[in-house]
């Protein structure tokens, strides 16, 4: 509880993985955690009258942190997949995304996922659906190695220095990288699968889930969501 002006507010611990701009990043000036997910969650908290304590960790550790009670909320561009719905509960969808294959700019050898060959290394971020795809390709003998990274920043560097031949990552984050750093990487082929991002809470925490859904509905109705969307995506 945070007592302020006599009124006690609930304080919830929320976590994200910060190498995923524009959803989850750190402000270059202040070093503070920043991004669409941060602004979205803060707007929901303000609407619902609770407060947030932010932390960041490896994406691969988020769900177990939630299940063990170390955190209360995950706001980290997390796809509400069927497999994850068995482990945690998700809010309503707040962003529709999908996975793409990215290659180093000018690499004409790979025009889609079909052009990956058994001598290639393909990167993905630990614990993500992109990593799952890489592991699937390796298990099927379609690529030589699924190279799993903790931070997407290192994965992007390795894509450009030739350590990996391709990277499987989320469309909006890959597009944002291309916009920020033209001429470095490019997207090849079609979107591999659809994803729907949700905010995650511990399975059964209906009270918090209902608050998050109510807050999300309010900010969508009152125009705050659209304002945040324009701030981070336009
Ligand atoms: N959307 C993908 C997933 O749910 C990747 C999310 C990565 N998020 C992050 N903050 N690094 O697995």
Whole-model pTM? 0.96
76 lines ligand 1 (CB under 6 A): yes
Q: Please, what is the Cα angle at 65 between 61 and 68, to 5 degrees?
A: 140
CA atoms within 13 A on the CB side of 43: 21
- Would you state the pLDDT for residue 47? 98
Judge if the beta carbon of residue 79 lies within 6 A of ligand 1. Answer: yes
> The complex's ipTM?
0.98
Residue 3 C-alpha to ligand 1 middle, in angstroms? 34
At 186-220, the pLDDT tens digits run 999 999 999 999 999 999 999 999 999 999 999 99
How would you list the strands of the sheet with 11-16, edge to edge?
Answer: 51-56, 11-16, 73-74, 200-202, 88-90
> How far is the CA of 52 from the CAs of 2, 182, 232, in angstroms?
10, 35, 21
The 10s digit of each residue's pLDDT in 68-97 is 999 999 999 999 999 999 999 999 999 999
Three-state DSSP class for 64? helix
């Amino acid at each position: 509880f945070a007592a302020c002006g006599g009124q006690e507010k609930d304080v919830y611990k929320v976590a994200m993985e910060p190498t995923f701009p524009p959803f989850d990043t750190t402000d270059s000036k202040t070093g503070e955690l920043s991004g669409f997910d941060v602004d979205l969650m803060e707007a929901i908290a303000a609407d619902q009258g609770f407060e947030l304590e932010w932390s960041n960790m490896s994406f691969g550790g988020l769900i177990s942190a939630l299940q063990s009670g170390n955190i209360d909320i995950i706001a980290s561009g997390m796809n509400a997949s069927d497999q994850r719905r068995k482990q945690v509960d998700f809010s309503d969808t707040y962003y529709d995304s999908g996975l793409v294959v990215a290659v180093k700019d000018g690499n004409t050898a790979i025009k889609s996922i079909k052009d990956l060959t058994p001598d290639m290394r393909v990167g993905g971020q630990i614990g993500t659906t992109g990593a799952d795809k890489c592991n699937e390709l390796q298990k099927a003998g379609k690529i030589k190695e699924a190279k799993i990274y903790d931070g997407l920043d290192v994965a992007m560097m390795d894509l450009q220095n030739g350590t990996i031949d391709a990277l499987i990552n989320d469309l909006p984050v890959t597009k944002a990288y291309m916009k920020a750093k033209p001429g470095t990487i490019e997207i090849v082929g079609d979107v591999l699968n659809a994803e729907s991002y949700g905010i995650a809470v511990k399975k059964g925490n209906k009270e918090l889930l209902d608050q998050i859904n109510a807050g999300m509905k309010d900010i969508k109705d009152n125009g705050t969501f659209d304002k945040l969307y324009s701030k981070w995506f336009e």
